[in-house]
Amino acid sequence: MTLIKSISGIRGTIGGPTGDTLNPLDIVKFTTAYAQFIGGRKVVVGRDGRMSGLMVRNVVVGTLMGMGYDVIDIGYATTPTTELAVRMAGADGGIIITASHNPRQWNALKLLNREGEFLTAADGAEVLRMAEAEDFNYAEVDHLGSLTVDDTYNRRHIDSVLALKLVDREAISKRKFRVCVDTINSVGGIILPELFQALGVDYVILNGECTGDFAHNPEPLEKNLQGIMDEMKSGRYDLGIVVDPDVDRLAFICEDGRMFGEEYTLVSVADYVLSQTPGNTVSNLSSTRALRDVTERHGGTYSAAAVGEVNVTTKMKEVNAIIGGEGNGGVIYPESHYGRDALVGIALFLTSLAKKGCKVSELRATFPDYQIAKNRIDLTPETDVDAILVKVKEMFAKDATAQVNDIDGVKIDFPDRWVHLRKSNTEPIIRVYSEAATMESADELGKRLMQVVYDMQ
């Protein structure tokens, strides 16, 4: 059993002893700390389709009311829907009940500020400190909060997407797209059909029932998507679309069943946005160089940020980026809001595809071709991650061909490839991402660094 406390919230497996799992007592503690920290009166709560979602929701809502907060429960909702709802409702914050791409036994509380954005590192650290201190003060009976259930925010989210200037609903409808979509038994199966209907897109949904009993590993990686890839090979569809359980990550599949590449979700959407409104872009250190290449081709400047949505959005504001995100399929488009949003990504991608009049595979061929190997090292309680990262940094410090960046783990940049090692914020693992011209070269580089870690354990 595992409980992970980070600046973005609290995440863990359901069931087991307190202090080591995501259980009612720890949920109360962290919800109380968050409520006490933001110091407001109104909070939005939304949840994905996980089997434990109702239990966690009940504890969260009851705790917030006990702290004197008026709660707006928007029910089954994507992460970006909840983020938008905070702003639309004029709330003081929001709690998203989702463990994103983690397996079914996990759940989490993601914490938002009054802008509907994730807490800063400093604010998240303060919430953690307050949770550990447990110096809480609950409301008296005459000052308990209220509960309002409001299921209108899915529609409001879709309306906001349709209102974006670069989303051309008419062009999309004229192309008469037929798409196959895997919504992995969560909230995507509720909201995406509404989006496709609004865009005039014909669709077939796989794993559409919102049960939280995921039909396969919910992380939208090629190794987990054989079902939809096989369906796409039938030749009946123009595009395959895959989302994760909370619909902030987005992956595409070409009309012939080949992966478009989750790294190229952001690249393709950014290419379209930059062609219409030139500017700067941002992605995290573990994302493909292709975004840099595309940005410079359009006359803009690319910047890299530490991994984590709040780090990316902070850098985007700093450099006035018009689009950004993460190579895991996360698209952040400030014209909508500062949060990863698969609905925005889908609408912009379909607009681009409609205007170009090409197939998905043909669009993919227009971008620089890099290959990323994504490996992981499971951690044990004895693993000294900091010592490992220092060792890796020292190994390449005197290499004239390597640039070493240690703002988030250690990234070693070579002229034709790179490798990045960092401790995950969401799982007890070290992520080892490496990129090169071929998958063999990328994997070889990653495995080389992984062996260094194994030798130190």
Alpha helices per DSSP H over 48-168: 53-66, 79-89, 121-133, 153-162
Alpha-carbon distance of 246 to 209, in angstroms, equals 14
Alpha-carbon distance of 226 to 408, in angstroms, equals 33
DSSP bridge pairs for 371 = 436
Q: What is the mean pLDDT of residues 205-214?
A: 97
Q: What DSSP line would sit under 298-320, residue for residue?
A: TT--EEEE-SSHHHHHHHHHHHT
What letter represents residue 401's amino acid? Answer: T
What letter represents residue 279's amino acid? Answer: G
Model pLDDT, residue 384: 83
Tokens 């879709």, located at residue: 158
Nearest Cα to 210, choosing from 251, 240, 246, 180?
246
Interval 218-229: pLDDT, tens: 999 999 999 999
What is the Cα 367 distance to its own chain's centre? 23
Q: What is the mean pLDDT of residues 389-400?
A: 84
Give the torsion through C-alpha atoms of 30, 32, 35, 37, to 10 deg. -70
Interval 13-22: pLDDT, tens: 998 888 888 9
| C-beta of residue 346 within 8 angstroms of C-beta of residue 238 | no
| C-beta of residue 2 within 8 angstroms of C-beta of residue 428 | yes
| C-beta of residue 291 within 8 angstroms of C-beta of residue 283 | yes
pLDDT over 90, % of the chain: 84
At residue 209 the predicted structure's pLDDT band, cuts being 50, 70 and 90, is: very high
At residue 398 the predicted structure's pLDDT band, cuts being 50, 70 and 90, is: confident
Q: What 8-state DSSP symbol labels residue 75?
A: E
CA geometry: angle at 339 spanning 335 and 342, to 5°? 90
CA distances from 202 to 155, 162, 239, 240, 264 (A): 19, 17, 11, 12, 24
Does the annotation count 100 as an active-site position? yes
At residue 457 the predicted structure's pLDDT band, cuts being 50, 70 and 90, is: low
Alpha-carbon distance of 55 to 67, in angstroms, equals 19
pLDDT at 135 over 70: yes
Model pLDDT, residue 7: 63
Tokens 């490798």, located at residue: 419
pTM of the model: 0.93
Instruction: Say which of 6, 8, 52, 100 is annotated catalytic.
Output: 100
Model pLDDT, residue 8: 65
Would strands 302-305 and 70-76 be described as parallel, antiparallel, or unpaired?
unpaired
